[in-house]
Structure 1
């Protein structure tokens, strides 16, 4: 409505009434910044990967069986196929990951729970049974492969021998969700929401990432692996709202929604630079230019890079993005090749499969748009925590009431909805209605108020009464300690009631009543 009144608007996005936003605001910014500094081959939280349990040896192509198997260099023999599954990255290692970890486990200082990845098996997005999320394990990086390349690692395995989670992961390949919306800008009736990241299918893409683009020219299946030549450096991710709806009671914000990813594009193919006939073909980037353009290290290992479209920004949809562009050394370890399109057919086939089986995609649409990542994955738990949208722990009224108490704008209704526990013990002689008193019994409120003494959650009147009672009790104790009772030795009973020398004397002249009366 503000956009309609003002005509144009450019503001930062804040969601002060959302407990999720308040809890994640600072931590999410730090996490995104840290992920951007890590190697592009390293799996990120929330991504779907191909994984297996620990194994001894290395993965190699067995030409006889025409599939990827484990080869033991010590035993000089093949050890069979890994038991591949699809899973969600729940936690990443605390210890630094190096390139060698892709194929071998380097010496680590800490246990696997600190130097490994927590991976949880992906359940059926279309089903109600989410028990597969309980099947998790901490594994090293050598046991994890990018799911976009599932066709490369699962080649030669019959479909009926695949774990069900593989097809569950293919089901979400045509889904996306935006991450960290930070800015709203528009001129009525159109607007844009800017974001720091986006989940597309199995991967998380962030501003600053180098991503591979789908080829726009025709190619055959046998040439798909070398058809990908262009790479975009993302500098903007936005959700465009076209024809915004004026009615505030409407279910929709706009008449049409479009995801747009913008950035400068570079190519490995010199012939591609001749498409723009209005400008002469550019020269290859120098070594220092490559370092400045790509955030990843060692990108010169691919060969020469040429800027496209006179280094102007290009805008594409999420459908044009294949996935991140890994470092050349990582490509050699994973695929023994530097071709950028090794997973092109797998990604496109996965998206086509998803559009056929994902029940959440409307008939006339090609993508499922989730509000958040756990919704696109359709999971209820992650890292042992309940993350379902309809979870019983998500009491929105209670959360908002507590937030208003923290902000100092609460009403009596908010105090009731906040469900703050009452005082325990004797009723106070003085009513406590200030935020300071509330802070003594509410950890959330005390955090918002700052330094509040919560060591003794009672009123001042009670404190005085407790002090007086305590002092009087101390005096009584001192008086009792001064009284000393001394008994003679012959007054003390000896032995037991049945033993010799005891003083037990049963009374025998008492008439006993009959045990039963008739």
Structure 2
């Protein structure tokens, strides 16, 4: 057992001395940039001490533990967060690979390895990478792609895709080009001034090319820590040069951006056809397992319970979860109460929901608890006060408070346009994750009434009834105030702010009249929208069920901050089934209470700040996995060098080294002189045919008959069967039948029609014919 002692400053904390006789910590991997600081490491020492106490078996719940120090050569550094420079993210440096640990959970296996004097091989992911690089002969500190744990040059990603300046990195001279006299390999020849500029803080090279290649543009090349061009910083620089700019945002050199084009576009189009009450991917919801009966309000118990066979069966076991997948089948209004007949089982007709883990903890095991559930088992999380009413706090599932912790957070989705007039600009987005919900352009959202007091549930100055306005979102934008075009700067602008713009409507006639009187005393009474205007204004069906709608502010667009939005406005029929009332303020008190709770408990929100701004949704939710896949930025499958090589192969700009780095799988076996397809040669000249063939080598695997291993009577006959089988298998995997003209070797007219029977192996057919 560890030799423990009580902490002098805090008698309730037990200090665990560590064994300092063995450590592989390397200070050479510590960051040196001026934006890095060494904060207090007591938080990390407490986390590791708790894990260490549990490992040794003397941990007691409620007892606090802390290490007396970190192992020699290891230290905590922090740097400004990309989305909000006022927040500083912490990382543990010192590993011999010269990459950092993202969390205490990642570091703990290595810590155990050090405490055992290195007697057993370390199982941490960095040591596994280190061992692989030693086997492959890759120099330490320069792995596959750029080291993820150490920024490229001295640059780091900042709030809106900005980055710090990048130092140039020389590459070995290419074949046929001597490095030259008196200069490093890979550095372009030039004057002394040019050579000095190449070692400055900013690498000036054309976007998307590797160091050492000829420059095709004078545009400064700014990249993030993975070497991906920073299109936002480039746009700011261009804005300063032109004074005014309006262009689409494209990131052709980013595999993330390229890979998400089609699925993201399809998903956003799908949202326009879904009812508003249907949960969306990435949203937080209340959910429970399948039950018989229906949910109803029990006035005697004062809570929502399960009602079946004219009896009450208690409240469901609610928990909070993340929607990972939507049903393949349509969700209809009746599914809110009872599941309508479906063609498929729950795995296809239900929502995949994962229990939400603690965003402040390294333990994400709750993400493993998932289930496919129907719509009737899901309720909007913003209405947690309604559905959890009457349930004691100690009986709530921990995931409920985990979800409340991220209610004051947001992240922007699909930045598609940059527009500005120097020195201000705006980045336009398709959607925003706000608290528990996802909001897209075209959605109708409910607005918080100004002057609302969450404690008294009234609106000042007069204690009148609470009425909500509804906005139809027209624009979502990130505004950049006083843009900073200095390539060496870490920021895009001095100030960032999110703004949502749209037209506002109300179903309160008196409120609409009062606003008109503020404009002119002799104004006519407000005119409601016609049924056709309601149908064209709202994308949802049946919005006239709320009554008459009146435009506010003379139909002009209004700009608000994300703080004014509560959530989506559901269809009135869905409101009746969910809450037995079409009142729009059903979650007003709960959402605002949840945001206050989040600001008090989310450790990522610094003192004096009101929101946590994440780069993407999984970062906002602090998730490591979703749908069983790693979603962290530093996932093991994130091989940036391979991705970039694949992009060059796709774009037709690949060099010999790119084909090697792309790791395109080839055929197994000795190459054959016979081509895999009659189209193989044409594929070299035609992009259409090569696309149909796929990224497969043109040679077919050698068959056993060609080696003389066949057991047939004649060489020719055996070779024909085996060779035909190999060719057939290649055709099945590389050619799509709908891309080729019909026909067989026996028929010239192309009249062959595939039957419903499964394809049969040629070898098997020949054996049947011979019997």
Task: Please classify the TM superposition score into its range, dividing by the shorter chain length.
Answer: 0.7 to 0.9
SS of residue paired to 1:10: strand
SS of residue paired to 1:65: coil
Pair 1:56 & 2:292 matched: yes
Kept in 1: contact 2:671–2:699 (CA 8 A): no
**In structure 2, what is the equivalent of residue 86 of structure 1?**
320
Structure index of larger Rg: 1
Pair 1:242 & 2:485 matched: no
Q: 1:33 aligns with which of 264, 269, 286?
A: 269
**In structure 2, what is the equivalent of residue 181 of structure 1?**
415
Distance 1:455 1:389, change over 3 A: closer
Distance 1:237 1:454, change over 3 A: closer
**In structure 2, what is the equivalent of residue 153 of structure 1?**
387
Q: 2:467 aligns with which of 220, 225, 228?
A: 228
**In structure 2, what is the equivalent of residue 254 of structure 1?**
493
More displaced 10-residue stretch of structure 1: 316-325 or 368-377: 368-377
**In structure 1, what is the equivalent of residue 24 of structure 2?**
none
What is the Cα deviation at residue 267 of structure 1?
A: 0.8
Tell me how far apart the structure 1 counterparts of residues 688 and 487 of structure 2 sit (CA, whole Å): 35
What is the Cα deviation at residue 420 of structure 1?
A: 4.3
Tell me how far apart the structure 1 counterparts of residues 333 and 649 of structure 2 sit (CA, whole Å): 49
**In structure 2, what is the equivalent of residue 287 of structure 1?**
531
Distance 1:209 1:454, change over 3 A: closer
SS of residue paired to 2:317: coil
**In structure 2, what is the equivalent of residue 345 of structure 1?**
589
What is the Cα deviation at residue 421 of structure 1?
A: 5.5
**In structure 1, what is the equivalent of residue 21 of structure 2?**
none
What is the Cα deviation at residue 92 of structure 1?
A: 1.1
Pair 1:408 & 2:652 matched: yes
SS of residue paired to 1:283: coil
Tell me how far apart the structure 2 counterparts of residues 275 and 30 of structure 1 sit (CA, whole Å): 40
**In structure 2, what is the equivalent of residue 432 of structure 1?**
none
Pair 1:106 & 2:350 matched: no
SS of residue paired to 1:402: helix
More displaced 10-residue stretch of structure 1: 311-320 or 223-232: 223-232
What is the Cα deviation at residue 21 of structure 1?
A: 1.3
What is the Cα deviation at residue 339 of structure 1?
A: 1.1
SS of residue paired to 1:54: coil
What is the Cα deviation at residue 458 of structure 1?
A: 3.4
What is the Cα deviation at residue 289 of structure 1?
A: 1.5
What is the Cα deviation at residue 470 of structure 1?
A: 3.7
Higher helix share: 1
SS of residue paired to 1:346: helix
What is the Cα deviation at residue 61 of structure 1?
A: 2.3
SS of residue paired to 1:301: helix
CA RMSD in angstroms, aligned pairs only = 2.9
Kept in 1: contact 2:467–2:508 (CA 8 A): no
Superposed, which structure 2 residues align to 1:76-475 within 5 Å? 76-219=310-453, 221-223=456-458, 227-273=466-512, 274-276=514-516, 277-279=518-520, 280=523, 281-420=525-664, 450-452=691-693, 457-458=698-699, 470=706
What is the Cα deviation at residue 409 of structure 1?
A: 2.2
Distance 1:455 1:449, change over 3 A: closer
What is the Cα deviation at residue 414 of structure 1?
A: 3.2
Tell me how far apart the structure 2 counterparts of residues 454 and 272 of structure 1 sit (CA, whole Å): 64
SS of residue paired to 2:692: coil
What is the Cα deviation at residue 243 of structure 1?
A: 1.2
What is the Cα deviation at residue 423 of structure 1?
A: 7.2
SS of residue paired to 2:300: coil
Kept in 2: contact 1:361–1:367 (CA 8 A): yes
SS of residue paired to 2:699: coil
What is the Cα deviation at residue 449 of structure 1?
A: 5.2
More displaced 10-residue stretch of structure 1: 52-61 or 168-177: 52-61
SS of residue paired to 1:341: coil
Distance 1:218 1:93, change over 3 A: closer
Tell me how far apart the structure 2 counterparts of residues 296 and 324 of structure 1 sit (CA, whole Å): 11
Structure 2 length normalisation: TM-score? 0.56
What is the Cα deviation at residue 125 of structure 1?
A: 0.9
Distance 1:165 1:447, change over 3 A: farther
Tell me how far apart the structure 2 counterparts of residues 249 and 68 of structure 1 sit (CA, whole Å): 57
Once the two structures are superposed, residues 67-95 of structure 1 have per-residue CA deviations (whole angstroms, 9 ceiling, x without a partner) of: 221121x2x22111100000011111111
- Poorly superposed stretches of 4+, deviation over 4 Å: 222-226, 420-429, 446-449, 453-457, 471-477
Kept in 1: contact 2:667–2:696 (CA 8 A): no
More displaced 10-residue stretch of structure 1: 248-257 or 259-268: 248-257
Tell me how far apart the structure 2 counterparts of residues 397 and 62 of structure 1 sit (CA, whole Å): 59
Kept in 1: contact 2:325–2:352 (CA 8 A): yes
Tell me how far apart the structure 2 counterparts of residues 34 and 480 of structure 1 sit (CA, whole Å): 57
Structure 1 length normalisation: TM-score? 0.83
Tell me how far apart the structure 2 counterparts of residues 351 and 109 of structure 1 sit (CA, whole Å): 40
**In structure 2, what is the equivalent of residue 18 of structure 1?**
254
What is the Cα deviation at residue 275 of structure 1?
A: 2.2
Once the two structures are superposed, residues 105-151 of structure 1 have per-residue CA deviations (whole angstroms, 9 ceiling, x without a partner) of: 11222211121111111111111111111111111111100000001
Tell me how far apart the structure 2 counterparts of residues 222 and 7 of structure 1 sit (CA, whole Å): 48
Distance 1:423 1:145, change over 3 A: closer
What is the Cα deviation at residue 374 of structure 1?
A: 1.0
SS of residue paired to 1:168: helix
Tell me how far apart the structure 2 counterparts of residues 405 and 290 of structure 1 sit (CA, whole Å): 50
**In structure 2, what is the equivalent of residue 511 of structure 1?**
none
Tell me how far apart the structure 1 counterparts of residues 281 and 716 of structure 2 sit (CA, whole Å): 66
What is the Cα deviation at residue 362 of structure 1?
A: 2.3
Count of residue correspondences: 462
Kept in 2: contact 1:221–1:345 (CA 8 A): no
Kept in 1: contact 2:545–2:572 (CA 8 A): yes
What is the Cα deviation at residue 65 of structure 1?
A: 2.5
Kept in 2: contact 1:212–1:228 (CA 8 A): no
Tell me how far apart the structure 2 counterparts of residues 256 and 456 of structure 1 sit (CA, whole Å): 52
Tell me how far apart the structure 1 counterparts of residues 364 and 712 of structure 2 sit (CA, whole Å): 64
Pair 1:8 & 2:244 matched: yes
Tell me how far apart the structure 2 counterparts of residues 59 and 295 of structure 1 sit (CA, whole Å): 28
Unaligned runs of 5+ in 2: 1-236, 674-679, 718-771
What is the Cα deviation at residue 364 of structure 1?
A: 3.0
Query: Which gives a bigger RCO, structure 1 or 2 (Cα 8 Å, sep 6+)?
Result: 1
